């Protein structure tokens, strides 16, 4: 039942329900009497109860929490593991929304596509087997290793104008190239959508980017976003959606827009979007989705897929495409943008060697047919005068469809003729899966058409400087090997004494002969039905995967305090900044993402204990000993001693990483009292059954310390729905001194139900049975 032809796709399940969205938006407009931006139309039309959300709210953006119902979820192989383990513990027979799994992050680039794929399948077999079996059981589309990179596959198959989708990867916004809203989230958020729980988002601000003029010559959509990243910086988009508009959009290909949306993540934007245009229609048709195109045409005719006249953006940035110059961004941060004409001087001023050691093109950001035709044109120009690339030249196709189409159209051959090595259709060097032995510990530069360039991201060497550029810049410069080479003006000397200068590349956005799907084995069964009899494959002795045991309730026979928490021992008082990375470190721990026991060994290992100022130290006052934080937490767990944390301001900022909430809960944490919480993490704690409380008076933070015992007073009233009930903490010091501390909480009625059940997933399981 593999899809043999792109035309076999069933459009009915992948078209957003335009009419009901438009109807819902009408209800919203009763309360919001003003022109709406495109992003607002898409977002607000997905709000579950518009009347409750918008009634009497003068300001929405940046203020109101929206309860949303996304239409689709996509997960990559690294983050899908914990998402699925959590989903399993909800006890549902199938996902509430269509979902897909993509095996791309775990594939390591060593020598080339075929061998790399074989080897990575062996190394990661147990993870792939688990993901596949879970996909079969719950009716999720499973794109196996080698099928392609999540964002490219989503664009080719699932994204649609006006759609709201979630993906467990930060570059999920790539799908915005088709005029929807695609948002990168943590696994717990994906599980919300998959269990039919409303997904919450604070209404973002809207940054309008007005495009005028026309790209020409060497400038590409990648240069536009590189330029915008320079303007906005890595924080400039936080809490905002970037919405593009203006006449400059008319000539942009859908895949070019996807590149721009992809890298909106680099400025911290929630996502990016564009009004529906004819190029999107062409792309939908070319990828076998004429039905979606027709439905989108109809929705657009009702004004749904573009902003209202007179939309008021929170900020407007205008860019004239005619003046845009190609840029190289980096090293080590994606917002350090230098125009190509100044790049040589920049390199000199930094004292770096005027050379680079590898050129990498493709990835989820830049492997469209248009990108590949443009780089092939440059390769042919160079090949016609006998030039080969001066440095290793690696190309990562984004999907099997792209790989097969560029092979058929002789693009691959043109690249190989000048020295390219084609890697597997997977993330590879883009996510550090690049086995590169010859440059370890050496300062060197690489050019990539990827999207991120933090230290060590590509080859694990923190001295490798990655400059992000368009695929055409990366390719043309690969023939020189010098960082100061500007292909727009400079020539390359040839052996016969003459010299060669590139002409601006020509490109074609869609293949004349249509896309070819390639190897049918890489395609999943479409619209699969759940198969409840399938056994989920997890080896009992696995070090990478572990079934998630549901967390027990805090209440019941073991707790004589009724609906108050049992007495909790304070594990430590955390000082200062404590991000989700401090709570659950990444790096080498990533391999344990699907194994809660193993990954919990990293709990808070970079947090500072305010009593003494040391990192990763906790005191066990009952035994008068100390240990690392995970060690002491584990001892408490072994003693069946529930515990609490006292934390500082903005606890849990950084990301939606659900491990940062799962791990403390796993060791027995029932309560975290903070000066303040980062909202997403606070919600994640609630989902896992940890009670987050805020100090009413922030100075009370210093009054509680390790070894103190905390009892809640008033929690029972709050759970029983008594309005105005407050929760106080009775603190008992080891020497017997007792005092009370007032707190505030942000638990909604639904969240209190989750808490009473022990976790949101327990609640879902109980209500179903
Ligand atoms: Fe992410 Fe790069 Fe893969 S941005 S999805 S790691 S290709």
| Average pLDDT estimate for 371-383 | 98
The answer as to whether 555 is a domain residue is: no
Residue 110, pLDDT > 60, answer yes
The finding on whether 457 has its CB within 6 A of some atom of ligand 1 is no
Indicate the top mutation candidate among 431, 432, 450, 452 to test ligand 1's pocket, ranked by most ligand atoms within 8 A of CB: 431
Q: How confident is the model at residue 460 (pLDDT cuts 50, 70, 90)?
A: confident
| Residue 65 CB coordination number (10 Å) | 13
The finding on whether 361 has its CB within 6 A of some atom of ligand 1 is no
Distance CA 174, CA 255 (A): 9
Which pair of tokens denotes residue 672?
């975290």
Tell how far the Cα of 740 is from the centroid of ligand 1, in angstroms. 50
Of 446, 465, 496, the residue that ends a domain is: 496
Q: In terms of pLDDT, which residue wins out, 19 or 588?
A: 19
What is the pLDDT, as a whole number, of residue 7? 38
- List the residue whose alpha carbon is closest to atom 2 of ligand 1: 430
Distance CA 459, CA 443 (A): 12
Q: Do residue 299 and residue 354 come from a single domain? A: no
> Burial level of 429, CB count in 10 A (0-12/13-18/19+)?
buried
Q: How confident is the model at residue 656 (pLDDT cuts 50, 70, 90)?
A: confident
Our CA angle for 236, 238, 239, nearest 5°, is 135
Which pair of tokens denotes residue 553?
């309730």
The finding on whether 150 has its CB within 6 A of some atom of ligand 1 is yes
**Residue 451 Cα: closest atom of ligand 1:** 4
Cβ(685)–Cβ(652) under 8 Å? yes
Q: How confident is the model at residue 6 (pLDDT cuts 50, 70, 90)?
A: very low
Q: Do residue 263 and residue 353 come from a single domain? A: no
Indicate the top mutation candidate among 364, 398, 429, 450 to test ligand 1's pocket, ranked by most ligand atoms within 8 A of CB: 364
Q: How confident is the model at residue 769 (pLDDT cuts 50, 70, 90)?
A: low
The answer as to whether 541 is a domain residue is: no
Lowest mean per-residue pLDDT among 51-55, 269-273, 631-635: 51-55
Coil vs helix vs strand at 315: strand
Peptide bond into 449 cis (omega under 30): no
Q: Do residue 154 and residue 167 come from a single domain? A: yes
Q: How many helices (H) and strands (E) does the chain have?
A: 25, 30
- Strand bridging mode 625-627 / 618-620: antiparallel
Q: Do residue 282 and residue 422 come from a single domain? A: no
Catalytic one of 151, 657, 745, 765: 657
The answer as to whether 360 is a domain residue is: yes
Distance CA 621, CA 624 (A): 5
Please write the tens of the pLDDT for every residue from 665-714.
999 999 999 999 998 899 999 999 999 999 999 999 999 999 999 999 99
> Burial level of 259, CB count in 10 A (0-12/13-18/19+)?
buried
The answer as to whether 510 is a domain residue is: no
The answer as to whether 552 is a domain residue is: no
What is the pLDDT, as a whole number, of residue 5? 36
Tell how far the Cα of 362 is from the centroid of ligand 1, in angstroms. 10
Instruction: Tell me the CATH number at 150.
Output: 3.30.499.10
What would the DSSP string read from start to end of 410-425?
THHHHHHHTTEEE--S
Catalytic one of 37, 89, 272, 655: 655
Alpha-carbon distances of 594 from 224, 447, 546, 698, rounded to whole Å: 38, 33, 6, 36
| Average pLDDT estimate for 438-466 | 93
Q: Is 272 a residue of the active site?
A: no
Coil vs helix vs strand at 207: strand
The finding on whether 431 has its CB within 6 A of some atom of ligand 1 is yes
Q: Do residue 17 and residue 45 come from a single domain? A: yes
Q: How confident is the model at residue 432 (pLDDT cuts 50, 70, 90)?
A: confident
Coil vs helix vs strand at 344: helix
Strand partners, 359: 393, 447
Residue 10, pLDDT > 60, answer no
**The pTM is what?**
0.92
For residue 238, the 8-state DSSP code is B
Q: Which residue from 494, 395, 408, 409 is spatially nearest to 447, judged by alpha carbons?
A: 395
Which pair of tokens denotes residue 557?
């026979």
Distance CA 659, CA 669 (A): 13
Q: Do residue 98 and residue 173 come from a single domain? A: yes
Residue 8, pLDDT > 80, answer no
What is the pLDDT, as a whole number, of residue 456? 86
Distance CA 482, CA 484 (A): 5
Coil vs helix vs strand at 244: strand
Q: Do residue 421 and residue 316 come from a single domain? A: no
Q: Is 503 a residue of the active site?
A: no
Mean of per-residue pLDDT scores for the chain: 95
Of 293, 322, 351, the residue that ends a domain is: 322
Per the rule left: phi > 0, alpha: psi between -120 and 50, beta: everything else, 348 is: alpha
The answer as to whether 519 is a domain residue is: no
β-sheet with 358-362: strand ranges across: 337-339, 327-329, 464-468, 444-448, 358-362, 393-396, 420-422
Q: Give percent of the chain with pLDDT exceeding 70.
A: 98
Distance CA 476, CA 495 (A): 18
SS3 of 40-57: the string is: HHHHHHCECCHHHHHCCC
What is the pLDDT, as a whole number, of residue 1? 33
Distance CA 212, CA 245 (A): 9
Q: How does 608-621 read in b/e, with b if 16+ C-beta sit within 10 Å?
A: bbbbeeeebbbbbb
The finding on whether 241 has its CB within 6 A of some atom of ligand 1 is no
Q: Is 655 a residue of the active site?
A: yes
What is the pLDDT, as a whole number, of residue 431? 85
Tell how far the Cα of 71 is from the centroid of ligand 1, in angstroms. 23
Half-sphere exposure of 661 (CA within 13 A, CB side): 31
The answer as to whether 553 is a domain residue is: no
What is the extent of the structural domain holding 180? 6-322
Q: Do residue 297 and residue 360 come from a single domain? A: no
Of 496, 521, 543, the residue that ends a domain is: 496
| Residue 87 CB coordination number (10 Å) | 28
Strand partners, 713: 728
**Residue 431 Cα: closest atom of ligand 1:** 6
What is the pLDDT, as a whole number, of residue 457? 87
Q: Do residue 235 and residue 317 come from a single domain? A: yes
Q: Give percent of the chain with pLDDT exceeding 90.
A: 90
Distance CA 37, CA 312 (A): 8
Residue 454, pLDDT > 70, answer yes
Q: Report phi then psi at 250, rounded to 5.
A: -55, -35
Please write the tens of the pLDDT for every residue from 157-198.
999 999 999 999 999 999 999 999 999 999 999 999 999 999
> Burial level of 694, CB count in 10 A (0-12/13-18/19+)?
middle
Q: Is 595 a residue of the active site?
A: no
Q: Do residue 317 and residue 332 come from a single domain? A: no
Count of structural domains, the chain: 3
Catalytic one of 46, 105, 436, 582: 105
The answer as to whether 508 is a domain residue is: no
Catalytic one of 72, 102, 104, 147: 104
Q: Is 169 a residue of the active site?
A: yes
Q: Do residue 231 and residue 350 come from a single domain? A: no
Distance CA 227, CA 320 (A): 11
Q: Do residue 397 and residue 296 come from a single domain? A: no
Our CA angle for 394, 399, 402, nearest 5°, is 80
Alpha-carbon distances of 377 from 380, 514, 647, 686, rounded to whole Å: 5, 19, 57, 54
Q: Is 104 a residue of the active site?
A: yes
What would the DSSP string read from start to end of 8-31?
G--GGGGS--HHHHHHHHHHHHTT
């Amino acid at each position: 039942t593999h899809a043999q032809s792109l035309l076999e796709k069933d459009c009915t399940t992948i078209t957003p329900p335009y009419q009901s969205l438009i109807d819902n938006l009408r209800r919203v407009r009763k309360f919001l009497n003003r022109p709406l931006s495109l992003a607002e139309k898409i977002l607000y039309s997905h709000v579950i109860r518009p009347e409750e959300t918008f009634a009497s709210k003068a300001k929405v953006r940046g203020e109101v929490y929206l309860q949303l119902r996304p239409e689709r979820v996509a997960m990559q192989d690294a983050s899908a593991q914990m998402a699925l383990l959590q989903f399993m513990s909800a006890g549902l027979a199938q996902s509430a929304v269509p979902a897909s799994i993509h095996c791309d992050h775990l594939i390591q680039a060593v020598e080339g596509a075929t061998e790399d794929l074989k080897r990575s399948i062996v190394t990661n077999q147990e993870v792939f087997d688990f993901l596949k079996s879970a996909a079969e059981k719950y009716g999720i589309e499973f794109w196996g290793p080698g099928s392609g990179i999540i964002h490219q596959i989503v664009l080719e198959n699932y994204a649609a104008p006006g759609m709201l989708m979630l993906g467990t990867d930060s570059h999920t916004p790539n799908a915005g190239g088709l005029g929807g809203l695609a948002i990168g989230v943590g696994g717990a958020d994906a599980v919300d959508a998959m269990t039919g729980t409303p997904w919450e988002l604070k209404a973002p601000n809207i940054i309008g980017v007005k495009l005028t003029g026309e790209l020409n010559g060497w400038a590409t959509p990648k240069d536009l976003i590189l330029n915008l990243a320079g303007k906005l910086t890595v924080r400039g988009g936080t809490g905002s959606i970037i919405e593009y508009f203006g006449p400059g959009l008319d000539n942009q290909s859908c895949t070019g827009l996807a590149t721009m949306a992809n890298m909106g993540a680099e400025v911290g934007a929630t996502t990016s979007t564009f009004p529906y245009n004819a190029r999107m229609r062409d792309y939908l048709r070319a990828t076998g989705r004429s039905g979606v195109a027709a439905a989108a045409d109809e929705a657009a005719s009702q004004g749904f897929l573009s902003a209202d006249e007179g939309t008021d953006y929170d900020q407007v940035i205008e860019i004239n495409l005619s003046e845009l110059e190609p840029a190289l961004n980096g090293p080590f941060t994606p917002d350090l943008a230098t125009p190509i004409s100044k790049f040589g001087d920049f390199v000199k001023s930094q004292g770096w060697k005027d050379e680079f050691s590898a050129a990498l093109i493709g990835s989820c950001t830049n492997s469209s047919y248009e990108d590949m035709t443009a780089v092939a044109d440059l390769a042919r120009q160079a090949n016609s005068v006998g030039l080969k690339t001066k440095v290793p030249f690696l190309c990562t196709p984004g999907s099997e469809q792209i790989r097969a189409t560029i092979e058929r159209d002789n693009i691959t051959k043109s690249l190989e003729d000048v020295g390219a090595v084609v890697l597997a259709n997977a993330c590879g060097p883009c996510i550090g899966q690049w086995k590169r032995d010859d440059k370890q510990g050496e300062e060197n530069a690489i050019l990539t058409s990827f999207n991120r360039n933090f230290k060590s991201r590509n080859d694990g060497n923190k001295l490798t400087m990655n400059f992000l550029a368009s695929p055409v810049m990366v390719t043309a410069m690969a023939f020189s090997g010098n960082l100061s080479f500007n292909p727009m003006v400079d020539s390359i000397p040839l052996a016969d004494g003459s010299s060669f200068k590139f002409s601006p590349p020509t490109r074609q956005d869609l293949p004349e002969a249509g896309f070819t799907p390639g190897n049918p084995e890489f395609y999943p069964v479409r619209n699969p039905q759940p198969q409840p009899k399938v056994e989920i494959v997890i080896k009992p002795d696995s070090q990478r995967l572990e079934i998630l045991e549901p967390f027990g309730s805090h209440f019941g026979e073991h707790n004589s305090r009724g609906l108050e928490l049992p007495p909790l021992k304070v594990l430590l008082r955390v000082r200062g900044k404590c991000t989700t990375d401090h709570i659950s470190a990444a790096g080498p721990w990533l391999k344990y993402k699907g194994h809660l026991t193993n990954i919990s060994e990293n709990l808070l290992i970079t947090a500072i204990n305010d009593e003494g100022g040391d990192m990763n130290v906790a005191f066990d006052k009952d035994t008068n000993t100390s240990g690392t934080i995970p060690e002491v937490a584990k001892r408490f767990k072994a003693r069946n001693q529930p515990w609490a944390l006292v934390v500082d301001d903005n606890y849990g900022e950084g990301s939606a990483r659900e491990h940062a909430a799962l791990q403390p809960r796993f060791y027995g944490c029932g309560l975290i009292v903070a000066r303040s919480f980062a909202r997403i993490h606070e919600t994640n704690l609630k989902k896992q059954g940890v009670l987050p409380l805020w100090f009413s008076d922030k100075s009370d933070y210093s009054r509680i310390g390790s070894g103190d015992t905390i009892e809640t007073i008033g929690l029972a009233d709050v759970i029983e729905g008594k309005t105005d009930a407050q929760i106080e903490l009775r603190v008992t010091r080891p020497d017997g001194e007792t005092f009370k501390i007032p707190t505030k909480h942000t638990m909604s009625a639904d969240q209190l139900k989750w808490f009473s059940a022990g976790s949101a997933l327990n609640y879902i399981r109980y209500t179903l049975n």
